[in-house]
Amino acid sequence: MHEKQIDPPTKSRLDDAMALLDSRSRHVMELWLEGESHQEIAKIIGLPERAIALIRRSSLWRLRDLIALKAAAEDTEFPPGRPK
């Protein structure tokens, strides 16, 4: 599959957020990000396609929230890059 290039800070935030997902959600998201369809993911994981759609949707919301929190925390650091 063709992989989209992601800049390092965004990739790091995504990697950090993905690590906080439960293993099943992380597996679904990894397969989806690789370009697999819900149908293909369902066959690989052994769950109904509808379950895959629900896991993917809830995982996207969770990732969005986690990435936003991390970005907000990084924006409030002063001076930048120094531990609090």
- Confidence (pLDDT) at 53: 97
Q: pLDDT tens, 46-69?
A: 999 999 999 999 999 999 999 988
**Distances in Å between the alpha carbon of 71 and those of 9, 13, 16, 44?**
10, 8, 11, 33
Higher pLDDT, 2 or 34: 34
- Confidence (pLDDT) at 70: 81
Give the distance from CA 36 to its chain's centroid.
15
Exposure letters 43-64 (e unless 16+ CB within 10 A, then b): eeeeeeeebbeebbeebeebbe
Residue 44 reports pLDDT greater than 90: yes
Residue 13 reports pLDDT greater than 90: no
